[in-house]
Structure 1
Amino acid sequence: MTESVTCTVQDSICRLTLNRPDKLNALNLQMFREIEGHLDRLDHAAIGCMVLSGAGRSFCAGHDLDDLASGKETAASAERFENGLVERLSTLPFPLVAKVRGHCYTGGLELVLAADIIVAAETAKFADTHSKFDLVPIWGLTQRLPRRIGMARAKEMMFGCRTYTGVDAATMGLVNTAVPDDKLDAYVDDLCADIASNSMRSNRAIKKLLIDTDGLNLAAGNAWELHHSPGHGPEFKAMIAARRP
């Protein structure tokens, strides 16, 4: 049976790929279970960076509405599990980069917001359509979207159900950058190679500090960093020496 989510690791870069291209990678409970299985089996200590993407022409068209309509995924236990898995992705110890081409709608938008860095094709399409189908987010959209783009923009996206291009998304800060469609793969590959070439310990510690201080005011966050930063690591002197001209 074909996996609906694939996972490969090479040169400390993990590639987690939604693999239902015939359904535009629409999410269902089985996909969440497969993602959980891949995360459980990963040697997290060996990962410097993860890339989250979708097979085919779209990142993710959203939650599989056929499954929702059938009642398969409305149980509270399923909703808690799916919400928890998005949270698990957002708090992975290593950097998570999302690569978006094509559709990134609703549930797909909730999933992509778990990423630390989002790179999109210029022609990618972003939208939240919960209210178009009398739905309300349960995977963290009302929390993560305002934190990324601001409350006013988030309200516009959620209430209006409008579609935004990758260029629009970059302008509003939803994605870090939008690149020409034919440059997307190479751009993300180069970015992840840069991330993976740096200190894995540093990147993990920096991400943890960012997560631990989210929501604190400047003074409290600064004090937390001072007292909880692990500072220099064992590779510091060797890395300094290796980079001297």
Structure 2
Amino acid sequence: MEETSEFIYKLILSYKGTHYYGWQSQAKHEETVQNHVEKVISKISRYKVSKVIAASRTDAGVHASGQVLKVTLPREIEPDILTTGMNSMLPSDIKVIKSEFIHKDFNVNRDSKFKEYHYYFTINQNENAAFFDSTYTFPKELNLKKIQEACNILIGDHNFKSFCVPGPNPGTLHRKILQCSIEKSNFLTFNTDIYYLKIQGEGFLRYMVRYLMGALWDIGVGKLSLEDFTLSLKNGEMYGVRTKAPARGLHLINIEY
């Protein structure tokens, strides 16, 4: 009987989510990030058994610079060669940043300490086409000081029932937020002020960051009070308005292990 071997890798993946229906493979949509990655892995594996598991199921239109994958291959490939080989076959808007060997017991989901997301937005009323698909233009002036107060409230353990879309078996809807702030971007040199929500948490529910960004905007224009926001986080019930921010401003930045 032929002996089989498995070689386990941890990959850091980046992608622009604009043209994809999210990370996860779907029967009705072939254009997902997972489909493209698995096709390349299948070629590299010479169509033998392989496996790809992602740490985060980003939604349609969401971007990533720090998605983490556990990849199991039937043959050994040096990490640098794996990175170069995959990037030569992947689309230009999906690229591997780094590959490394990892132990077989590595659990890409349970072993993570926290995830960090950024949501990029501007309040400049004239949109700049150069970053239209990665930054959202909010159409009104915002009270950024009030938004930062709400960010401070978010730090800690809360009930996010009214800030997500729970799945069929969601388990607890409590999540712990480690850091949360509104920052001003300094890496774009265009003549536009870009801000972003920086949020780190031990885990996130579906659409949770987008609903939180929407709530922060509502607070920033006076449509949602800090009192109602705090009460919602305490008991999970909906107080005040609910706005879900568009996908295009959301970026998965880092997953720490």
**Would the TM-score normalized by the shorter structure come out above 0.5?**
no
Higher helix share: 1
If asked which structure has higher relative contact order (CA below 8 Å, sep 6+), I would say 2
* Bigger Rg, structure 1 or 2: 2
What is the TM-score normalised by the length of structure 2? 0.24
Higher strand share: 2
